[in-house]
Amino acid sequence: MKKLTLILLAAISLQISGCATTTQDSVSGVNRTQLLLMPESQVVAMSSQAYTQTLQESQKKNTLNTDKAQFERVRAISNRLIAQVGIFRPDAVQWKWEVNVDKSDQVNAYCMPGGKIMVLTGLIDQLKATDDELGAVIGHEIAHALREHGRERMSQAFVQQFGLQALGAIITNGTSAAVGNASMQAAGVGSQLFFALPNSRLQETEADRIGLELSARAGFNPEAAITLWQKMSKLGGNKPPEFLSTHPADGTRIAQLQALVPKVKPLYVAAKKK
């Protein structure tokens, strides 16, 4: 009973200490408190390992950065966005950012924890995306990383899968076999959870809002986010592209973006004057 009480107290303490908002408040108005139980360093390490593996597989298939002009275009757009991340969280300026393009018919892009960006060529080719539209979608993905939505999803999954005993061990440095096995399992599935667990509707809304502001500050027309999601919703008819399989692309989303455009438009105008 005493041991269980200690575990419960440790878990409660961990939950309290794990509640924080990852980004500074800004024009986009995103300041929700998040449950972040998984250590940031562990999540970034797992994500970096998964990203490296992806790059190695693409190199073997000769699909990584095969079009130099396209790669340079994506990197230039991404670098403009990365230059603005300090507005939302100063520590992100020091992240080890990486940008790559993989040749694929899939309409997809992502930014893993710690700033690992990947754009699939299907997103560019099938949408005939302009620079402003690419700025919108890459900004959206960077926003997920800034808000540590992957870490948030992993934390929630850790609680559900491994329970209070493993959580308590993080605080008490428990060494039981059960706790050790749970911790090893958690580390093993961590990078998989990033891709397997869908973003919540709330997380998507946050990424929309921060991504729109980020792209405006980088000098990309925020109205391009509207045309981007309109193109996305039309692509593939009744079957949405993979990029939208867990993204609520509907009239409500577009309406929310349209409502935010006037708020971030002055940031875009100011950026264009520089």
Active site residues: 141
β-bridge partners, 35: 19
Q: DSSP letter for 18, please.
A: T
Strands (E), the chain: 19-20, 34-35, 98-102, 109-112, 116-120
Q: DSSP letter for 93, please.
A: G
Nearest Cα residue to 144 out of 43, 222, 61: 43
Which amino acid makes up residue 65? N
Beta-carbon contacts of 82 under 8 Å, excluding residues fewer than 6 positions away, are 97, 115, 142
- Whole-angstrom Cα Rg for the chain: 20
* Joined tokens for residue 40: 């940031």
Question: Would you call 27 helix, strand, or coil by DSSP?
Answer: coil
